[in-house]
Chain A
Amino acid sequence: MRLITAGILVLLATSTCALGTEASKYPPPDLGPDYVQPPGHMPEITHEIMPIVDIAILAVALVLASYLALKQRSRKGIWILGVVSLIYFGFYRQGCVCPIGAIQSIAEAIFNPAAVISLVVILFFVLPLIFTLMFGRTFCGSVCPLGAIQEVVLVHPVRLPGILRHALGLLPCVYLALAVLFAATGSAYVICRYDPFIALFRMNGPAGMLILGACFIVISMFVGRPYCRFLCPYGLLLSWASKLSWTRVTITPNECVKCRLCENACPYDAISKPNTKTLPENRKRGVIGLLGMMLLAPLVIGASAWIMVKTAPTLAKMHPTVRLSQRVEREDSKEVSDTTDASQAFRESGRPVEDLHATAAEIRENMTKGSLIAGLFIGLVIALRLIALSTRRTRQDYQADRALCVACGRCFEFCPVDPRNKKPTDGGLA
């Protein structure tokens, strides 16, 4: 112990010496005793209370959203809450921290012992998940600013063919796997970097991101919630939680009379029609199909893992250190003739090249391991989806799909059984 203390003292002494000699390059003049040094500029961290306010508002909004969707069944209320969330979390707080991005912070905190994470981020990640386990995806419906902005601009919903829906539906799972992989290896926070709406919330950003945001807005006018359905990695987690939820939004508060009025009410294809009339189908074909999918599952998982491991060296390039190491290697081998800012900064730093290459090799190795796990995960999700699509379940009436319903409340006002819809709307059943 004493040795260590002595060592630290020696270190301290040498470092102060080094500072001393450095400072004397152009020694300051003797300014006399009356000289008062101007104060250094070190502004306090402002808005430190804001993250706590955010958490409180998030909790209140979640409670309110669940109440409005489940008890009050008020589309208007849900819409207004969405707009308020959009203004507060989106435009005022500029969309950061959000639960979607928090996935990465959590992943990094778990895999990198040196990473620091604040309690606020953990709560942002956990709270919506807990509420979804209880009440379904009410967070998506009226708390998430990304969901709200897409909800608000949806003018003329166009149905997508089922084949496209299922194809695009794979993207969130890939996005989630990659986002966790990149965060865990310390490479990048891709969700934050490629968030299409954050540039709009900030009303500022690189031209590419602003254009991407505008494109998403235009698509959102015709396709319901494209980001939520076909990209959002947090939405995938919430849809799983929603499947297990304790209770959730229903189309009708009473017995369904199968009047078919709500059939086209959902722009997100989350309403399943009753299938009692078309059942039973050819049972034998169904069983063969299911067995086939089950046999296919290990193959799918294996192939996915293999592809991801093969892609790992490319994925590793997301890490700045790996890029730098490759760049320096190419420069040293005279393969390229110029230098980059990064390689120049590295040369200035005096850090040994071997050290850099070793760090990069370690990151590459981690990336390969992580890619294997990510590949297994993606394969498993694909296999489970294929199996799920081969099974039949009897539906007696019109139901909101447990995973897909985002509790927007659009279908409420079409239900004639709901006592709140007292007066028939213009051109309705009357």
Chain B
Amino acid sequence: MSATNNKTAQWRLASIMTMAVAGAFILFVVIVMARAWKANITSNPTDHPRIEKLRDDLAADSGSEKIITELRNEDLALRKEFFRTWKILSNGVWLLLGGACVLAASLTIAISTSKKTPMPIGKSKGPNDMLAGLLGRVGIALAAIALTGAALTIPILTREVSTRAQAKGIWPGFRGGPEASGISPYTDVPISFDGITGQNIAWKVRVPLNGQSSPAIWDNSVFITGANKQTRKVYCFDALSGRITWDKSITAGPGSTKVPEGVMEDDTTYAAPTPIIDVENNRIFVMFANGDVACLDTFGKIIWQKHLGTPDNFYGHAASPVLWKKNLIIQLDQGEPDDKLSALIGLNADNGEELWRTTRPVGSSWPTPIIAPVESGDQLITCANPFAISYDPATGKEIWRVDCLDGDGGPSPIYAAGLVFAVNVSSKIAAIDPSGKGDVTKTHVKWEFDEDLPDTCSPLSDGKLLWMMAEGEFSCMDVATGKRLWNKNFESSFYASPVLVGDRIYLINRKGKVYVISAGRELEELGKADLGEACDASPAFAEGRMYIRGKKHLYCIEEQNK
């Protein structure tokens, strides 16, 4: 008997040892696998931040062999890591299974060697069926109550909480919409911010495709476009997180794939026109340098799209579409003035059908037309070489024209204090009374001024003063007289148009340096900020927020220490 006992004890000891070893082994494998899992086999190695950074470097320093080699090595390393992780996981599973089998076997031996036949304890009283039945019924009753409780609370727990839009504010299009005045109704915007340190930056996200277009804002949605030679995309960012809610590529027709010639890829870009939002009908309109126009709903579904023919524009088409009631108006100026290619096109916003088309006696141009709410009725004001022309936005019929522009024009006109201001770098700025008809060059120009004229930036006015940004030279004038009050040289180049936020003016130069000055008769510098990235697009505004599109990223600027 003792010999058997001894042997049993030995078996027990051995099995317990095996159990311990198997347990430790399983633990080890689990840890290795968990670590590999953390690296996440399904993550995309080509989206790794290191790769992303190298890609940015490469784009900045196009074609640098050193960066390419570094990038390829990094990429290879990441891919190797990816497949190694995969292997660890698939092999680990089998090791785990083996370990579990050994554990189970040793456990069984340990139990079987320690088993004793149960001895009946105490006197048999026999079962109390009455009590057992009662307890059983109580148990069922309790379970029924618990289940009822669960059935009643689950609907409450699964009720969906309303996450009402937290970001508020509408900025329908270029410089704030059809009037394009560049005046923000939202004034609670920080003066200082820094894109590098992240000061007052709510978020910063990369816009996958390049573009010069500005953001258009509608509460929680930030719409922006981007394109290259082949692809044209509309992006919708979530204003709260900066995450891309959706993106949609636009290829409106067979002609869309033809790459327009002469587009300055890094300057004008293939996506210069800013989208415009139709708030009443829940839709947005976008346009690209290849002549594609599209209407999308706010969920990214294309309602209609149309290819207007590849524009013959020697820097690339840049004018944003304008919405007036049910008319989507596109100033499609092309070629030279004598070519007779330029036209103003009115499309039906519901389906993209052409309602009217007015041929224009001008050459290629880049300013976005504006809607001027003149007393006698809304007018559409266009600028190009050589005319500033006003049209009836309903029919496209010309109302008046002024021969005051020359050369390649970038700045859009503005309408302030009952006057239209048209400007161009190589001619002058003209204050035009829009009440005339026909050629009013001689009769309706209130005043002219021809020093330090803007090349790209549109002018800005609060109704009393007028500001304009030439190549770094910023001047302030009196609207009524056209007299210059002051001017200051910022000694850098500007593309983004100045904007008026309350009593402050924001100026963003091409390097991303931001100057904030007071909008007064005297020059007063209020502060400086830095985007930390090149910037050519005009900013957009919403409640407490400013959105700026840099060369690569979209920034949401908001006071962070509220």
Which A residues fall within an 8 A CB radius of B? 25-26, 91, 152-153, 155, 161-171, 174, 203-204, 259-261, 263-265, 272-279, 281-282, 285-286, 289, 293, 300, 303-304, 307-308, 310-311, 313-314, 317, 326, 330-331, 334-339, 343-344, 347-348, 350, 382, 385-386, 389-390, 392, 414, 424-429
Contacts and interface: CB of A to CB of B under 8 A. Distances in A.
Contact of B120 (A164, A260, A300, A389): A260
7 pairs of A and B residues whose beta carbons are closest in the complex? A166-B139, A337-B220, A167-B143, A260-B120, A167-B139, A337-B165, A163-B139
B147 to A, nearest CB: 6
Contact of A390 (B107, B116, B137, B147): B137
B246 A344 contact: yes
B140 A167 contact: yes
B139 A162 contact: yes
B127 interface: yes
Given A274-B126, A330-B160, A338 B238 contact: yes
A273 B128 CA distance: 10
Nearest to A328: B299
B197 interface: no
Contacts of A174: 147
A297 B232 CA distance: 69
Interface-central residue, B111, B125, B127, B143, by most chain A CB under 10 Å: B143
Contact of A166 (B93, B135, B155): B135
A273 B127 CA distance: 6
A169 B138 CA distance: 12
A386 B246 contact: no
A348 B297 CA distance: 11
B136 A347 contact: no
Nearest to B132: A162
A156 to B, nearest CB: 8
B97 A263 contact: no
Nearest to B103: A153
B136 A389 contact: yes
Nearest to A334: B165
Contacts of A204: 93
A169 to B, nearest CB: 8
B342 to A, nearest CB: 30
Interface string B91-123: 001101100000010011001000111101000
Given A278-B129, A334-B165, A337-B163, A263 B136 contact: no
Nearest to A381: B140
19 contacts: A152-B108, A163-B135, A166-B137, A169-B140, A169-B143, A171-B143, A203-B96, A260-B120, A261-B118, A265-B118, A278-B127, A278-B128, A331-B299, A336-B162, A336-B164, A337-B167, A386-B140, A426-B4, A429-B117
B489 to A, nearest CB: 44
B118 A314 contact: no
A170 B143 contact: yes
A165 B139 contact: yes
A275 B127 contact: yes
Contact of A163 (B127, B138, B167): B138
Interface-central residue, B137, B154, B163, B251, by most chain A CB under 10 Å: B137
B147 A282 contact: no
A259 B220 CA distance: 78
Contacts of A426: 4, 116-117
Given A166-B143, A344-B299, A350-B301, A427 B116 contact: yes
